[in-house]
Amino acid sequence: MKRLTLLIAALLLALTATAQNISYDDDFTQTREMKVPGKTIVKSGHMTFDGVDHLSMEYTEPEGEYFIINGITVKINMGGKKNEINANKVKSVGLQRTTLLNCLAGNWKEAAKANNAETVVNEDNRGVRIVTLTVKGKVPRGGYSLMELTYRTSDGKLQKMVLVESTGIRNTYTLSAN
């Protein structure tokens, strides 16, 4: 009996470690819906994520754009405007960095805590878990008022991420089925 208990404990520990170390090497599509009715921008590219604090989103459409998190450094090239920011020094970028990394890693409870958000979790018979985070009160500058995360229940990988900016702009990221 003691051996079985130890085996179960080891298995649970291994599963927990695996769930917390989700990594990605996937293509993605981003649909950005602006506040102006009918104004939608569609972008695509390739994402890699190490499960901790290295995220690279390199766009193929439009070519040359990127969004990279490397530890506390965030590098951006959007619309020809390049910027490198220390996330520890710019509070809004730090919040975005933490939120994105936690959502990708499946740590939605931490994302909810960092954003002072209420959480609703639903699972369906298609094998997905939909987690909706709604910020309580005033949305911090640069933050998201709503985050809707769709994870596969089989491995915890994010399939779709909807981020509504404090300005009302809605970004939907859809990952390939890897």
Read off the pLDDT of residues 97-139 as tens digits, 9 standing for 90 and up: 999 999 999 999 999 999 999 999 999 888 999 999 999 999 9
Q: For position 140, what pLDDT does the model report?
A: 83
| Residue 13 pLDDT class (50, 70, 90 cuts) | very low
Give the residue-averaged pLDDT of 10-31.
67
Q: How high is the pLDDT of residue 21?
A: 74
**pLDDT confidence of residue 141:** 81
Find the angle CA(144)-CA(49)-CA(73) to the nearest 5 degrees.
65
pLDDT digits (tens, 9 = 90+) for 142-172: 789 999 999 999 999 999 999 999 889 999 9
The residue among 173, 178, 139, 141 whose CA lies nearest residue 157 is 178
Judge whether 138 and 163 are in contact, CB under 8 Å.
no
Separation of alpha carbons 63 and 58, rounded Å: 8
Within 8 A by CB and 6+ apart from 127, the residues are 152, 153, 154
Given a contact cutoff of 8 angstroms between Cβ atoms, the answer to whether 150 and 140 are in contact is no
Comparing CA positions, the residue from 11, 14, 16, 47 lying closest to residue 29 is 47
Domains of the chain: 24-175 (2.50.20.10)
User: What integer pLDDT is reported at residue 20 of this predicted model?
Assistant: 52
Cα separations in angstroms, 70 against 12, 41, 79: 30, 26, 21
**Which value, to the nearest 10 degrees, does the dihedral of the CA atoms of residues 176, 127, 52, 29 take?**
20
Q: Spell out the SS3 assignment of 22-36.
A: CCEEEEEEEEEECCC
pTM as predicted? 0.84
Answer for the pair 174, 166: CB distance below 8 angstroms, yes or no: no
Quick check: 154 and 134 in contact, CB under 8 A?
Answer: no
